[in-house]
Amino acid sequence: MSRVIRRLRSEDCAVISSSFGAIGWNKPTSQYEAYLREQDAGARVVFVAECDGVFAGYGCVLWESTYQPFRDAGIPEIVDLNVLTQFRRIRIASSIMDAAEAEIVQRALKERAPGTVIAGIAVGLYPDYGPAQRMYVRRGYVPDGRGVSYDGRVLAPLEATVNDDALNLHLTRTLLA
């Protein structure tokens, strides 16, 4: 099986949307068109995975995180990592993560002198996120120490919330020290 990880192109937008639509996920073409504009502007990089020429998944690096602690520290965040069901468990997500982490290191080395390079990522907390939680830990990501956040806002002790996609644990990994 040949695997390719490449940058998002305009012709990918409708393919990605329809591929996820086929499994019941609402991911409109306009989302990927916006991602493409952000990529062209240098705010985001979108990595598209293909297996034997067929779309398999994608993930992004957001250079300015929407999570305030990462943004304040200048930590880029790997976001919106999604792999189609039929392509799971064959290391597609890991290949996208490899590309994202390499891009973070490459940009850091280009923009400044070598030093510590950190990547951030957030993961949901209900069982559907179990495989992602395990993969991030195996890759060396650790909690950022702030507890959980809801929609990017760190929750206060004893604050009630709902366990949906907006409830996250933020993790970091040192890529280069």
Residue 135 DSSP SS3:
helix
What residues have CB less than 8 Å from 108, skipping those under 6 apart? 115, 117, 176
- Crossing angle for the helix pair 12-21 and 29-41, to the nearest 10 degrees: 140
Q: Evaluate if residue 91 carries a pLDDT over 80.
A: yes
Average pLDDT over residues 20-49: 97
CB 142 within 8 A of CB 149: no
Distances (CA, A) of 52 to 2, 46, 49, 62, 65: 5, 19, 10, 27, 33
**The token pair that represents 10 in the structure block:** 């305009």
**The token pair that represents 47 in the structure block:** 């990595």
- Per residue in 118-150, pLDDT (tens digit) is 999 999 999 999 999 999 999 999 999 999 999
Strand partners, 47: 7, 59
Q: Evaluate if residue 177 carries a pLDDT over 80.
A: no
Q: What is the pLDDT of residue 25?
A: 93
Residue 117 DSSP SS3:
strand
- Least confident stretch, 17-31, 107-121, 132-146: 107-121
Any idea which residue has 């792999």 for tokens? Answer: 83
Would you say the pTM of this structure is higher than 0.85?
A: yes
Which of these, 60, 33, 43, lies nearest to 121 by C-alpha position? 60
Q: Band of the pLDDT at 176, cuts 50, 70, 90?
A: confident
Q: Evaluate if residue 45 carries a pLDDT over 80.
A: yes
CA atoms of 121 and 62, how far apart (whole Å): 10
Domains present along the chain, CATH in parentheses: 3-176 (3.40.630.30)
CB 54 within 8 A of CB 67: no
Q: Evaluate if residue 101 carries a pLDDT over 70.
A: yes
